[in-house]
Structure 1
Amino acid sequence: MAGIQIHDIHKSFGALRLFEGLSLACPDRKYMCLLGPSGCGKTTLMRIVAGLAEPDSGDVLIGCERVNGLPPARRNVGLAFQNYALYPHLSVAGNLAFPLRAPIRRGRYGEAEIEDRVKRVAALLKIDSLLHRQVNQLSGGQQQRVALGRALIRDPGVLLLDEPVTHLDARLRYEMRAEIKLLHDRIGTTTIHVTHDQQEAMAMGDLIAVMREGRLEQLGAPLELYDRPATAFVAGFIGDPPMSLVHARFAEQNGRGVLNLAGALLPLPDVLAAQARVAPSPELLVGLRPQQVALAERTADGAVAATVYSHGMVGREQQLMLTLGSDEVRCRTARSIRATAGDRVGLAVSLIGAKLFDAESGRALPPAR
């Protein structure tokens, strides 16, 4: 197996500068998800690791070997693409065996070894009963397994997956997430998985690298990103639903730190007040999870005035989207609560566990010393 190191990568497309000194690492045998919105550079970064694109400068190391300039065939990587890229004129067995019979590897593998590898990978992926079928006779999930098997058949040191379950329906996508993760736990191949779906990344990744406009916003374990987002972007991207981000202003009142939130003065817990006192500016963004917001009487002490924007049922609960000035807040309530768009309501906001970010930079305020 082999870890991956990406060091000080620069990449431009004409006048567009995508990567400007990007660095990150995926340790050996780990499953890392590259997560971000469309256009953030995650697929380009995967292509650079694979050798399908070259950086303008910087280094890519697989294991201890610098692979800049090496063709994909010499990088010991396996790839599975979003569109599967299967050969329709070949059977399942033929698709699995194709990488071993490719002209670039002619003579390296005997037919007995090829047949043995095909059977072994097919059994691993539970498609051994499908080896004689044609591609057009397979379901989407079966085609995905064949694509994974073709990537794994050479026992690569690194596995690269480009949105591998995007085309599947919701139920099958859920099942394939579990199967791919179980497969990784069994074989331990270092894996980079590109996705725009934060639920997918949270469910599958040992590590998640959140990207935005060619920059690395944060790299960490799923719960680290959820509990301690480094930026407002990460806070608003991770979680289902994600954090609500509300503009507020810090002030002192009778020797205690408070937040002016949409005109309501809310006392800050001591630990958050200590952070806010040393912030670059009193203008802050407050990150709130839905469980920190509840409906209240508009006249209640400390209630924040809001307007219902939309509502919908989520299983046992009702999810409300509310507006506070130019900001939006998510709130979960009992199904019995009657709310319609345009209703004026009060909100009880708990700041215990809230996250504070500098409003200008979007960076999380550091812990107070």
Structure 2
Amino acid sequence: MSLLNSPADLAQDRRARVASVLQRYGVLVALALLLLFGALRYPGFLGAYNVFTVLGYNSMFGLIALGMTFVIITGGIDLSVGSVAAFASVIGALLSPHGLWPALLGAVAAATLLGLINGLLIAYARILPFITTLAMLLAARGLALLFAGNQSVSVDYDHGFTALGQGNLGGVPYTAILLGVAYIVGALVLRSTPFGRHVLAVGGNEEAARLMGLNVERVKVLVYTLSGAMAGLAGVILASQFGAGQPTEGLGWELTAIASVVVGGTLLTGGLGSVGSTLVGVLLLGIIFNILNFENGRGTISLSAYWQSVIRGAFLLLVVVLQNQLTQRKGRRT
């Protein structure tokens, strides 16, 4: 028997294959098991009301996670998305007397500009993404408080602005439809366009991408601009859904987005990721907190909203550790 086919090598190869399958499909299996658990334990868990409520509320996190997916695939990070969303919610509320579309476009444009600034500083000033987006986190939060006068800004209910966050089409919330469309477009862009291939190439090996003739700086600018736009859209939904622009909202949203992206299998080191897997990650986190709310209602546990941040942090740490272990095992195979 050759060394290549020794029992130890075969066992290692099997472990690597299992690690590869878990990395690709583990989150989908976990989501299916959670849905089965909820359906068996709670009456109405899979009913239309609960399903659409979860989708409608988590649409904000889903949109932010979509933009974050492109950023992380390039090997970057965006810590400013929560503050940018809060800023956009304030702008949307201030513009709401002019109607839905002016408020939507104005808020998304303002957030996109902040994302563009992030991208320009990271790509051309070569400031680390962590530092750049941390600075923007503070700046966007300050702008939100400044424009809002340090208080919530009530939206105008007479010109259709709240239709986006509170309306539905055949019982399906507009926000859920918007989320689905955004992810379909995002998946097509990542897998079927030159830009998507460039994003993957930059994350895989930036220097190799540069030698191939790719404009690495432009790719970075575009992904951070996209992240800002998605955060802006989430901010508009926030204001429309809850009836007010909220400058202090969005705390920890970047953690939720990063957790959703990473649990979906996108590597924090970049070069590998999937839009569809990110959506599964968003739904997985949403279902976890939905189950906790059901348990609170049954009196089984009593967790305040502050515990959600603790759970998100612990969940993200667990996923990163597991992802690291699976990646190492997969790497040993090759």
TM-score tier, shorter chain, comes to: under 0.3
**Greater fraction strand:** 1
**Greater fraction helix:** 2
Task: Please report the TM-score for the alignment, with normalisation by the length of structure 1.
Answer: 0.22
Higher relative contact order (CA closer than 8 Å, sequence separation 6+): 2
Q: Which has the larger radius of gyration?
A: 1
